[in-house]
Structure 1
Amino acid sequence: MEEEQQQEVEVEVPSYFLCPISLQIMCDPVILPTGITYDRDGIERWLLSAGTCPLTKQPVPPDCDPTPNHTPLLVDRARVAKLVARLHGAATSADLLDALREIKDVAAESDRNRKLLAAVPGTVDILAAVLAVSYQNATAACDEALEIICLLQLSEQCLLRVIERDSEAVVDALVATLQRSNTKYRAHAAVILANVTTVMSPNRLVSLPEQVFGEMAQLLRDKVSNPATKAALHVLIATTSWGRNRIKAVDAGAVPVLIDMLLDGSDRRSCELMLGALDRLCGCAEGRAALVAHGAGVAVVGTMILRVSDVATDKAVRMLRSVARHAATAAVVQEMAQTGVVSKLCLVAESAEQCSERTRERARETLRLHARAWRKSPCLQPHLQALYPSAISPAGERACLFG
């Protein structure tokens, strides 16, 4: 396995990483006024005997002090292994912090370095252990470990190994970081949590603490950053397939937060994620109640139809069908007509080009549920009344009797 990992990360060394004098990878690259970069040791020896740039032959002033060139340096597998060994063998907090910072610098240099770090056995395990042990005191080591894990962009296999070792401690560490005021590390924690929840087993997901959902809602309120917002939305979507988690998210105030975000407007992908999260939460009675209780809840979901994308339309129609079926009081039925929701559903029902057959059928089903209240509604324009589905299902008949 180790040989396979080594083969996976071996790449050809680019020429600009090699010193033109020694033809070896530069350890301390410096640049001359001529614009050529050399390894410091090699060029300083050269300048002692020759006052010119080796490649350009241009003269170099005797008092020239070559400037450090911060072009990313490649590291080899042996150096990475030594760095990881330093982490394992750190005797003091200072030693641990120094090792973490050096690893972070290496990881920040290049994608190749990050692959090397992730491939060395024990790297991810020790970083997760540092995170799980040090988060309670919000130490610098915790922050460094968090940042390195984000930089590494771990594979599903690595994430699974971390979760299988001690998922509760990792989640607790991430929640504790989310509760801090530092926006940078809150964003890191959100991104890692989003990645972790995608590989968690259902048993672990349903046992997530309520604080996870509270922090996701708060992160959305605070608008820390676009990556943090999208990470929080991914967490809500990944964790709310189960009723227990839906209720946790609703109790945390996620529904009104998502509605307000839709009202503010956003890019297409963000709107799809918001609607996806809302759709999940409307899968329980508490979620539907929170949606209709918001003054703009039903209306803003309706405005997403035929406006953002096919995916957004499908999610919006699903939610409105759920509301019409399970939470449609007389006031809600009237609101859906007055806010233009019914008109949008009529357009979807006959929109063969813009919507899938599944979405069109959901729109027709929703319209049939309250046909007697909506078919002749003064809020529905005459040309849309002509598009209204003619057949009323038995479920629609029953709904109309109580609508």
Structure 2
Amino acid sequence: MDQNDDIDVPVHFLCPISLQLMRDPVTVTTGITYDRDNIEKWLFEFNNATCPVTKQSLLDQTLTPNHTLLRLIQSWSTLNSSHGDFVRNNIPAPKPFLHKTQIAKLLADATKFPHLRTRCLKTLISIAVDAQRNQTLLESSGAVVEFLTSVIKSSELYTTEREEALSALHHLRLTESNSVKDILAKDGEFVDSLVLQVMKNGSYQSRGYATMSLKSISEVSDPTRLIATRPELLTEIVRVLQDRISAQASKAALKLMIEICPWGRNRIKAVEAGAVHVLIELLLDETEKRSCELVMMVLCQLCGCADGRAEFLKHGAGLAAVSKKILRVSHLVSDRAVRILSAICRFSGTGRVVQEMLLVGAVSKLCLVLQVEGSLKMKEKTREILKLHSRVWRNSSCIPLHLLSSYPS
């Protein structure tokens, strides 16, 4: 049956990406609604970070179920059921809300009969994405979280089961549910499993989910746990950034580093994991504002230690990449760039470094900072940098004449 000839389908029931009928409508932050399968492929499989219709960047890639549209589709499905298989095959029938007893039975069966475990995990995922009320019900059930973490922690299970469990846990709105985060933050074995099993050996998608889970857990973790961060965790975070799994996973990895690096020797561990080189490479390619800010924040933290500055200067494009971002992205990026240059000039300002800053335009950018509107604190730090090496820079032909008037005396 041809849908255009025989069935009058409302246009808002169609998926904007493929013009197919929606089965699970979800709305992105731009306000456009898509079918879940299609938009998840667009975002995560094809690694696009924009809204297909508006072309706007999706800084937050949360997919919110559009329950109103789903009810309209289901009502339309009921009214048009006389059209036969086409309607029944393409439109999901209304599903009743679940009860705690149903979830308890589902978990009991999966625990008692291991061969039902994969089916149980898939069912939990479908329950979580089906309705907001179901999602809340799963979150409130400690038994569900306990079951999922036990699957993830078990070394005897197939990788596919572990990945299904991670996907289910991800759909429990871990980023929003403090109760779930608190449970997981206290489970050291679970965190170790995420690092040593999933992030080392998992698929791109499962590594992305694990990174997002670890980022959420770090937000409620006790400082003593953050101080004792395993070097393997930072190695795997850096690998997620290097592999550029998705925009969402990269941002989660950067936020995780921002949480971890201030504690103990974690900056050194991150530097030893190769973070500085990877961050500079990201900075060279990144154009999205929030991503640039996160990269610069982590880079600024790492340049606060001698090892970080040494690795920064080993990269041939480090000074140029940081200088280029000044006054081009946001105040936060400019501020962190000035701080990085300040740390380099104060503690690592060799003759070669001072000359390179002239050649790549860093000194000219610093002079420009003094001419434009900005925070007094950033301008004061800029003056300190320029005064520090004024004998080399003040009369250099590399500084445009119209900027020399800004050079502090």
Same fold (TM over 0.5): yes
Distance 2:116 2:173 in 1: 25
Q: Is 2:178 the partner of 1:156? A: yes
For residues 187-226 of structure 1, the C-alpha deviation after alignment (integer angstroms, 9 at most, x for no partner) is 1111112212222121111211111111111111212211
Q: How does 1:162-201 map to 2 (within 5 A)?
A: 162-164=184-186, 166-180=187-201, 182-201=203-222
Task: Label 1:87 to 1:337 Cα distance change in 2 as closer, same or farther (>3 A).
Answer: same
Q: How does 1:65-144 map to 2 (within 5 A)?
A: 67-68=88-89, 70-71=91-92, 73-78=94-99, 80-88=100-108, 90-134=111-155, 137-144=157-164
Contact preservation (8 Å) 1:194, 1:232: yes
In structure 1, the residue matched to 2:26 is: none
In structure 1, the residue matched to 2:45 is: none
Distance 2:246 2:85 in 1: 45
Q: Is 2:226 the partner of 1:205? A: yes
For residues 63-84 of structure 1, the C-alpha deviation after alignment (integer angstroms, 9 at most, x for no partner) is 9797245437454351x44224
Distance 1:343 1:100 in 2: 58
Count of residue pairs the alignment pairs up:
340
In structure 1, the residue matched to 2:336 is: 315
Of 266, 273, 278, the residue aligned with 1:245 is 266
SS state at 1:37 partner: helix
Distance 1:362 1:16 in 2: 55
What is the letter of the counterpart of residue 329 of structure 1? Answer: T
Distance 2:160 2:138 in 1: 20
CA RMSD after TM alignment: 2.7
Q: Is 2:399 the partner of 1:377? A: no
Question: 1:254: how far off?
Answer: 0.8
Question: 1:283: how far off?
Answer: 1.3
Q: How does 1:350-365 map to 2 (within 5 A)?
A: 350-351=371-372, 353=373, 355-365=374-384
Identity of aligned residues (%): 36
Contact preservation (8 Å) 2:195, 2:232: no
Distance 1:65 1:284 in 2: 64
Question: Which is further off, 299-308 or 183-192?
Answer: 183-192
Q: Is 2:167 the partner of 1:147? A: yes
What is the letter of the counterpart of residue 152 of structure 1? Answer: L
Contact preservation (8 Å) 2:128, 2:135: yes
TM-score by length of 2: 0.76
Q: Is 2:281 the partner of 1:260? A: yes
By relative contact order (CA 8 Å, sep 6+), the higher-ranking structure is 2
Structure 1 ranges of 4+ moved more than 6 A: 13-16, 63-66
SS state at 1:335 partner: helix
For residues 145-194 of structure 1, the C-alpha deviation after alignment (integer angstroms, 9 at most, x for no partner) is 10011111121232012211x12432333442111252121111111122
Task: Say which one has the larger Rg.
Answer: 1
Q: How does 1:28-47 map to 2 (within 5 A)?
A: 36-38=76-78
What is the letter of the counterpart of residue 232 of structure 1? Answer: A
In structure 2, the residue matched to 1:4 is: none
Distance 1:101 1:150 in 2: 13
Distance 1:331 1:296 in 2: 14
In structure 2, the residue matched to 1:367 is: 386
What is the letter of the counterpart of residue 297 of structure 1? Answer: G
Q: How does 1:252-401 map to 2 (within 5 A)?
A: 252-351=273-372, 353=373, 355-390=374-409
In structure 2, the residue matched to 1:9 is: none
Task: Label 1:72 to 1:126 Cα distance change in 2 as closer, same or farther (>3 A).
Answer: farther
Contact preservation (8 Å) 2:151, 2:162: yes
Task: Label 1:341 to 1:92 Cα distance change in 2 as closer, same or farther (>3 A).
Answer: same
Distance 1:100 1:169 in 2: 18
Contact preservation (8 Å) 2:260, 2:266: yes
Task: Label 1:188 to 1:382 Cα distance change in 2 as closer, same or farther (>3 A).
Answer: same
